[in-house]
Amino acid sequence: MFDNLSERLESAFKQLKGEGRINEINVATTVKEIRRALVDADVNYKIAKEFTDKVKEKAMGEKVLTSISPGQLMVKIVKDELAELMGGKEEEINLNNKPTIILIAGLQGSGKTTFSGKLANYLKTSKGRNPLLVAADIYRPAAIDQLQVLGEQIKVPVYTEPENKNAVQIAQNAIAEAKKNGNSVVIIDTAGRLAIDEVMMKEVADIKAAVQPHEILFVVDSMTGQDAVNTAKTFNDRLDFSGVVLTKMDGDTRGGAALSIKYIVNKPIKFVSMGEKLDTLDVFYPERMAQRILGMGDITTLVERAQAQFDDVQAKKLEKKDTPKQI
């Protein structure tokens, strides 16, 4: 994941190798390479341009730090901006209600059902909750079977009504069941399609209106790049979801979805999912992801220390200036 982007960014930073300080010419060359790297990673050109404009502005405004190289300083700036582009800080899932109702939406094949199982496992093992999984996909018997198998593996109950063809009714009945049995979280796995259509969108919107979920998580296959971002926008316009889940992050993804989706829909990425194993679900940390993309976490620490030392020196100089001379 992100291997190609990481290599391209590293190559861009090499433009500054051997340079004594940052100036308009070497920054312009580096920024141009960064923009190309982002576009090649399937990031929308407008987003890539805005991103690199911010990087350039910050780089030109930076103070000269003698203890670090221009390349190291640029890495730190890019890391900060990447983290900001992906949301800035992690966003916890809302579990403040009893029961907390979580609606899972997305296209068929995005990994919705597997994610539902992973989320139930995460909430049970990491948060001490007592979840109920709900099979509300009335079109694919395989989806119901899959959820039941996942439920058995993690020892979480699964609510099903195989003969009922009313997804709204199934969701409502499941919530009543959860209240009766003391389940603290209800995770509703909804139907998807291979592409967006009105029937699917209306059904999931109807479930939302009927059960008033506390969280709506949109699950998206990160390997589909800009298509994932466009799909997210359509779903968000209809559902106003509360967070995004990126699946298949262990695949051969160029990273465009992870880097663009927050900018487009202005909703946080809450989880990333890798592989089929049920314990491979992680809270999304923008800062860590940015460091991972750059593969240079130690450099950002070095720059932060140098900046702190520079500020201390400047503060002491100012103190000396302000101290009245003894006569």
pLDDT for 322 equals 57
Mean pLDDT of all residues in 246-252: 73
For residue 312, the 8-state DSSP code is: H
Kindly state the average pLDDT of the residues 124-131: 93
Q: How many Cβ atoms from other residues are within 10 Å of residue 298's Cβ? A: 9
pLDDT number for residue 28: 87
**Domain ranges (residues) in the chain:** 3-85+296-318, 100-285
DSSP secondary structure code for residue 73 in this structure: H
Window from 36-50, 207-221, 306-320 with minimum mean pLDDT: 306-320
Range with the largest mean pLDDT of 21-25, 92-96, 131-135: 131-135
Per-residue model confidence (pLDDT) at position 311: 57
CA gap 274, 87 in Å, rounded: 20
Give residue 150's pLDDT: 94
Cβ distance 132 to 157 under 8 Å? yes
pLDDT tens per residue, range 184-198? 999 999 998 877 888
The CATH classification number of 100-285 equals 3.40.50.300
Region 124-140 average pLDDT: 93
DSSP of 273-304, one letter per residue?
E-SSSTT-EEE--HHHHHHHHHT-HHHHHHHH
**pLDDT, average across residues 214-219:** 95
So what's the pLDDT on residue 173?
A: 96
> What pLDDT, in 10s, does the model give residues 272-292?
888 778 888 888 989 888 888
Q: At residue 201, does pLDDT exceed 70?
A: yes
Is the Cα dihedral 21, 290, 254, 236 positive or negative? negative
Is the per-residue pLDDT at 298 higher than 50?
A: no
Q: Pick 302 or 110 by higher pLDDT.
A: 110
Between these two residues, 248 and 62, which has the higher pLDDT value?
248
pLDDT digits (tens, 9 = 90+) for 169-188: 999 999 999 999 999 999 99
Task: Please compute the mean of the pLDDT values over residues 243-269 and round it to a whole number.
Answer: 82
Q: What is the pLDDT of residue 223?
A: 78
Is the confidence at residue 145, as pLDDT, over 90? yes
Question: For 135-153, what is the mean pLDDT?
Answer: 91
Mean pLDDT value of segment 105-112: 89
Classify domain 3-85+296-318 by CATH number.
1.20.120.140
| pLDDT for 327 | 45
pLDDT at 64 exceeding the cut of 70: no
Q: Write the CB contacts of 218 (distance below 8 Å, at least 6 apart in sequence).
A: 105, 106, 232, 235, 236, 239, 241, 243, 244, 245, 267
